[in-house]
Amino acid sequence: MSLHPRRGWRFQWATIAWLTVVWVLLWGHVTWGNVVNGVLLGILVTAGLRMTPVDFHGRVHPWWLLVLLGRFALDLVRASFEVSVVALRPRYTPRGAVICVQLRSHSDLYLTMTAELVSLVPGSIIVEAHRLTGRLYVHVLDVETSGGIEKARQNVLDQEARVLRALGSDDELTEAGLHRSRHVPEVAR
């Protein structure tokens, strides 16, 4: 069992423990057999499936992380309501679109996090993500309720900015053309 030199045993055991918890939750019963099988499966997965290490040069900024999570929760509620209105409107055909959004950051981690957060909000889903170019192709359910194509594109860029402010380093923010102001951000923007 070989480990990647940049990934220590501490990270491996945390991953194995997490995979064990997931395994036990999937079975729905806490038994010795499920726990042992979860640990063995966790060891097999971490040792057998080599993952590319993710470079993370930032740090968690608690205030901006709260802003990110708060805005995400707000977006979930608002978008759920908008999608239900579109679905329940009689004889209304939503005008969907696939838009291309050029992200500002070149990090795989931030691209993935932005894509996941955008996809989790009802009414939008990532169709394709280009890792090398930093582009996301997003399907928007209804351009009209989204405020138009440019507004939908700006929503994705705003999500990326919140991710970068919550987790990025000052150098990563500068490279993306952003800054982490000391003023209270507009969560409901």
Q: Is residue 4 a part of any domain in this protein? A: no
E strand map for the chain: 97-102, 124-130, 135-140
- In this structure, the answer to whether residues 34 and 89 fall within a common structural domain is no
- In this structure, the answer to whether residues 68 and 159 fall within a common structural domain is yes
- In this structure, the answer to whether residues 75 and 104 fall within a common structural domain is yes
- In this structure, the answer to whether residues 156 and 98 fall within a common structural domain is yes
Tens of pLDDT, residue by residue over 20-79, are 999 999 998 899 999 999 999 999 988 888 777 777 788 889 999 999 999 999 999 999
Cα distance between residue 65 and residue 109, in whole Å: 15
pTM of the model: 0.73
Phi, psi of 97, deg, nearest 5: -155, 150
Q: Which residues constitute the domain of residue 25?
A: 9-48
Confidence of residue 4 (pLDDT cuts 50, 70, 90): very low
Contact 39, 20 (CB under 8 A): yes
Tens of pLDDT, residue by residue over 116-143, are 999 999 999 999 999 899 999 999 998 8
Number of Cβ within 10 Å of residue 157's Cβ equals 15
Number of domains in the chain: 2
- In this structure, the answer to whether residues 77 and 160 fall within a common structural domain is yes
* Nearest alpha carbon to residue 80 among 33, 38, 141: 141
